[in-house]
């Protein structure tokens, strides 16, 4: 198992993205992706503000995000909107009054100016920000299709822009993948070393190589939940263990009855 420091992850993320885009990764001004923690009412996903050195189209931003195991942020509720917009509250994220790209796009051939919209992940398009004027396709009489989503006017307001973005140079990335189905986002597990990611692409090696991934309750990450995992959990009861972080099966910061239940319910080989 390989544990990477946050600084190493950010360096790898920035370097990899720079190959495609030339960007600087930021989150709340400290250059780091941050988690919207389940314990704080979030979804357990990770987010980062990424700022390019020059103008970047929506598709280029989405492609660069995908290369890092992420996607442009999908905003499914007002609480998530508030959390995500907080990342954009830095002057460097704005080009004029145009703020970061988000992961919404208009479905082709569904009509203008309003049309139908979708998230890059296929998640339901139910929440549509606080601004009733979105989308407006540039207002009445515009001859340019504005069919990509971003923030505008230095506030939590959604707006539609054309693919090119009129010089926009920032985006908000989101990591939401859970390739081994253990209920914890892969990015965080690569970050803290609970899943190995030797090539630093934010995708667990076991998911790329076809090997069995550890599952919830597999404290020693050997692909089997057994008496050894039970012993690890009991020995670290009430703590947030650094030596066996997977003992905290639900990732809430403490080894407790829920983690014990995860061991007992997953007993045997992972994936069976």
The pLDDT value recorded for residue 4 is 40
- Kindly indicate the confidence band of residue 5, based on its pLDDT and cuts at 50, 70 and 90: very low
Q: Who has greater pLDDT, 83 or 25?
A: 83
CA atoms within 13 A on the CB side of 266: 25
Q: Which are the contacts of 237, defined by CB distance < 8 A and separation ≥ 6?
A: 255, 256
The pLDDT value recorded for residue 19 is 35
pLDDT of 143 strictly over 50: yes
The chain-wide mean pLDDT, for the chain, equals 84
* Percent of the chain with pLDDT strictly greater than 90: 54
- Summarised one tens digit per residue, pLDDT across range 52-77 is 989 999 999 999 999 999 999 999 99
pLDDT of 110 strictly over 80: no
Q: Domains (ranges, CATH) in the chain?
A: 6-175 (3.10.100.10), 186-269 (1.10.1330.10)
The pLDDT value recorded for residue 27 is 43
- Kindly indicate the confidence band of residue 115, based on its pLDDT and cuts at 50, 70 and 90: confident
The pLDDT value recorded for residue 13 is 41
How distant, in Å, are the alpha carbons of 131, 163, 236, 257 from that of 232?
51, 51, 6, 13
The mean pLDDT value for 148-171 works out to 94
Do residues 34 and 27 touch, judged by C-beta distance below 8 A?
Answer: yes
pLDDT of 108 strictly over 60: yes
pLDDT of 16 strictly over 70: no
The mean pLDDT value for 190-217 works out to 84
How distant, in Å, are the alpha carbons of 47, 136, 187 from that of 11?
16, 39, 15
- Kindly indicate the confidence band of residue 112, based on its pLDDT and cuts at 50, 70 and 90: low
The pLDDT value recorded for residue 109 is 76
The mean pLDDT value for 116-120 works out to 94
Which DSSP string do the residues of the chain spell out, in sequence order?
-----HHHHHHHHHHHHHHHT-EEEESTTTT--EE--GGGTS-S-EEEEEEESS---HHHHHHHHHTTT-EE----SHHHHHHHHHHT-SGGG-BTTEEEEEEEEEPTTS-SSS--EEETT--------S-TT---TTSTT--S---EEEEETTSS-EEEE-TTGGG--EEEEEE---TT-SSS-HHHHHHHTSS--TT-SSS-HHHHHTPPPP-TT-TT-SSEESHHHHHHHHHTTTS--SS-GGGSTT-SSS--HHHHHHHHHT-EETT-
Q: Who has greater pLDDT, 198 or 103?
A: 103
pLDDT of 212 strictly over 80: no
Q: Who has greater pLDDT, 183 or 81?
A: 81
The pLDDT value recorded for residue 28 is 40
The pLDDT value recorded for residue 222 is 84
Do residues 51 and 31 touch, judged by C-beta distance below 8 A?
Answer: no
The pLDDT value recorded for residue 181 is 80
Query: Among 47-61, 70-84, 110-124, 176-190, whose mean pLDDT is lowest?
Result: 110-124
The pLDDT value recorded for residue 179 is 87
How distant, in Å, are the alpha carbons of 114, 144, 147, 161 from that of 136?
7, 11, 10, 9
The mean pLDDT value for 195-211 works out to 86
The mean pLDDT value for 156-171 works out to 93
Query: Among 134-138, 141-145, 198-202, whose mean pLDDT is lowest?
Result: 141-145
């Amino acid at each position: 198992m390989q544990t990477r420091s946050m600084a190493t992850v950010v360096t790898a993320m920035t370097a990899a993205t720079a190959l495609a885009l030339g960007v600087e990764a930021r989150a709340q001004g400290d250059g780091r992706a941050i988690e919207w923690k389940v314990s704080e009412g979030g979804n357990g996903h990770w987010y980062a503000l990424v700022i390019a050195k020059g103008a970047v189209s929506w598709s280029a931003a989405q492609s660069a995000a995908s290369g890092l195991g992420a996607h442009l942020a999908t905003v499914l509720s007002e609480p998530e909107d508030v959390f995500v917009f907080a990342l954009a509250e830095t002057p460097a994220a704005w080009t004029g009054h145009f703020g970061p790209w988000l992961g919404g796009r208009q479905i082709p051939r569904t009509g203008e100016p309003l049309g139908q919209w979708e998230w890059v992940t296929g998640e339901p398009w139910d929440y549509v920000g606080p601004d009733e004027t979105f989308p407006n396709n540039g207002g009445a009489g515009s001859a340019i299709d504005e069919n990509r989503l971003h923030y505008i006017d230095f506030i939590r307001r959604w707006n539609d822009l054309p693919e090119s973005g009129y010089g926009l140079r920032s985006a908000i990335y989101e990591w939401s993948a859970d390739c081994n189905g253990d209920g914890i986002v892969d990015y965080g597990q690569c970050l803290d070393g609970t899943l190995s990611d030797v090539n630093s692409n934010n995708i667990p090696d076991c998911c790329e190589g076809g090997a069995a991934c550890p599952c919830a309750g597999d404290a020693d990450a050997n692909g089997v939940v057994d008496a050894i995992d039970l012993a690890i959990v009991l020995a670290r009861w009430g703590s947030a263990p650094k030596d066996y972080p997977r003992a905290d099966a639900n990732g809430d910061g403490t080894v407790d009855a829920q983690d014990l239940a995860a061991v007992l319910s997953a007993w045997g080989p992972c994936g069976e």
